[in-house]
Structure 1
Amino acid sequence: MAKDQNNKSVDQHQMQYTSGITRRDSLKLMMALAASTLLPAALAGCDSAPVSKTDAGTGAAKASTEHWPELKLAPVTATGYGKDPNLILPPESPWPLTLTQDQLSLVAVLSDILVPREGSVPSASEVHVPAVVDEWVSAPYERQQQDRLTILSALAWIDDEAQMRFGKTFVALDKTHKKAIMDDIAYDRAETPPQFKRIATAFSRFRALVLAAFFCTPEGIKDIGYIGNVPIGGDYPGPTKEAYEHLDKILADLGLTEYAYPIQA
């Protein structure tokens, strides 16, 4: 859901998304995302597809017709950090952010559909996932630029579909109408109609990006119960007996029993 500058949930119809996060922090999260294993490899670039057809009587495109936005995106030409970044006087922002306000608001709404607030666990937009998505698609690196066309095309498709079905942008739709579109594109299953196959694939990439960004935040890490490295007082206990036995079995299966370590009493 969209947020005001104090990061409180507000009605999507009344206010546009404002991240409330500094470039320094959004870059940290983006770099953590880039280094993580949570996000799979990028999808292949988008191919051209037939544009939507319109109803002769109403002039409005039907939801069942195939359409795909043909975006002509200007290349991102920023140099980025490079292999030997300037650590003495680092640039305030290594590249300009490229998502428009409307795109950011759409990303916020979609992100909160994917990761809504649940009890004390914040929603995706509350932990600045849209700002991380903006950093990701604006970065000048090959992996991010492969995602740029996919993500921006998906955003354009979703707004186009909302206009075709309901005469409004996706952000302005009520929950029932949002759900109707999301149900059609959420997953690429065997029963997914052909006209939704392409957007389902692109939306899958968007979903992976949102989820990976969320679980790279401190709140997301806490939600999955990840503890990480913690200090241990006194002597290090080493692996458990069960861990040793498991390793011994694997080594035995490989014919490498001679390399097994004796279990300390």
Structure 2
Amino acid sequence: MSHKPEQDAALQPYQTNMTRRQSLKLMAALAASSMLPALSGCDTAPPATKTDAPTTALTGALTGEHWPDLKLTPLSGTGYGKDPNLILPPQSPWPLTLTPAQLSLLALLADILVPREGAVPSASEVGVPTVLDEWVSAPYPRQQQDRVTVLSALAWLDDEATMRFGSRFGALTRPQQITIIDDIAFDNADTKPQFQRMAKAFAVLRGLVVAAFFATPEGTKDIGYVGNTAIGGDYPGPTPAAKAHLDKVLTELGLKEFAWQA
């Protein structure tokens, strides 16, 4: 199904004050995040050949599945090179690719996944869509695969919303939006066949949003992370409880001679 990227009047335009340098630093933090979703290889399909094209079409017809037919231009940026400066990255190592409409839809989805809770800001308020724009624009294999997944997922949501409710996703009411999200929220035995492919893609998108949020200063503060914080005076060393735990683990591993209190 084709997709037109025009902006919905009801969709709040996404705006951010994040600089390019800030978004590049956060993208580097996202790349190093242990929360980053693993590559699945299942969210998008390889180009159909003459042999498998009829099978692919038949599968879609039988399951009721639809999938956007995107014509994406390959990314041409050169990346950081062999000796990247992650402390002071270049201002514009590659062009950004998401349109204002895509960024606004991504912001809407990000805030459904990570809404504001009291003093903790939502995903869009800390610039997650901007970070993901950097991510899907980077000319590296992982990011290029995620680019296809993310853009296909955004297009699928608009197509599904139009087929169900006659309007694009951003123009729907929140209950209508949640109805669609509920159908693709999880890829499990209860997921209907027509939503299984999108459920896999949505899992990648959800993982990127959550990992990007917790890569921001506000996200790390929310989970109580205190790393990279200077300690006044001499380093006090591990607490007695930490030493006792380490001694117990070392003993269980047969390494008691390396314990603090051997």
Q: CA deviation at 1:139?
A: 0.4
Distance, in Å, in 1 between the alignment partners of 2:255 and 2:90 is 53
Distance, in Å, in 2 between the alignment partners of 1:206 and 1:191 is 20
Name the aligned partner's letter for residue 209 of structure 1: L
What TM-score results when the alignment is normalised by the length of structure 2? 0.84
Give the aligned length. 242
Q: CA deviation at 1:12?
A: 7.3
Change (3 A) 1:35 1:72: same
Change (3 A) 1:86 1:130: closer
Asked if 1 retains the 8 angstrom alpha-carbon contact of 2:116 and 2:122, the reply is yes
Q: 1:135-185 CA distances to partner (integer Å, 9 max, x unpaired)?
A: 100000111111111111111111110111111110111111101101101
Q: Residues 1-265 of structure 1: matches in 2 within 5 Å?
A: 13=10, 15-44=12-41, 46-47=44-45, 49-50=56-57, 65-85=64-84, 91-262=90-261
Name the aligned partner's letter for residue 172 of structure 1: A
User: Which has the higher mean CA deviation after the structures are superposed, 203-212 or 117-126?
Assistant: 117-126
Q: CA deviation at 1:97?
A: 0.6
Change (3 A) 1:14 1:252: closer
Asked if 2 retains the 8 angstrom alpha-carbon contact of 1:98 and 1:134, the reply is yes
Asked if 2 retains the 8 angstrom alpha-carbon contact of 1:43 and 1:146, the reply is no
Q: CA deviation at 1:37?
A: 1.4
Change (3 A) 1:233 1:219: closer
Distance, in Å, in 2 between the alignment partners of 1:169 and 1:230 is 45
Distance, in Å, in 1 between the alignment partners of 2:11 and 2:195 is 30
**Highest RCO, 1 vs 2 (Cα 8 Å, sep ≥ 6):** 2
Q: CA deviation at 1:234?
A: 4.1
Q: 1:25-49 CA distances to partner (integer Å, 9 max, x unpaired)?
A: 1111111111221213223161165
User: Which has the higher mean CA deviation after the structures are superposed, 38-47 or 167-176?
Assistant: 38-47
Between Structure 1 and Structure 2, the one with more helix by share is 2
Distance, in Å, in 2 between the alignment partners of 1:91 and 1:238 is 38
- Give % identity: 64
Distance, in Å, in 2 between the alignment partners of 1:66 and 1:154 is 13
| 1:31 partner SS | helix
Q: 1:53-72 CA distances to partner (integer Å, 9 max, x unpaired)?
A: 6xxxxxxxxxx831111323
Change (3 A) 1:12 1:111: farther
For residue 5 of structure 2, what is the aligned residue in structure 1? none
Name the aligned partner's letter for residue 22 of structure 2: D
CA RMSD after TM alignment: 2.4
| 2:171 partner SS | coil
**Unpaired stretches in structure 2, ≥5 consecutive residues:** 1-7, 49-55
Change (3 A) 1:240 1:21: closer
Distance, in Å, in 2 between the alignment partners of 1:31 and 1:238 is 30
**Unpaired stretches in structure 1, ≥5 consecutive residues:** 1-10, 54-63
Distance, in Å, in 2 between the alignment partners of 1:177 and 1:102 is 19
Distance, in Å, in 1 between the alignment partners of 2:156 and 2:241 is 52
Q: CA deviation at 1:14?
A: 6.2
Asked if 1 retains the 8 angstrom alpha-carbon contact of 2:96 and 2:133, the reply is yes
Asked if 2 retains the 8 angstrom alpha-carbon contact of 1:112 and 1:123, the reply is yes
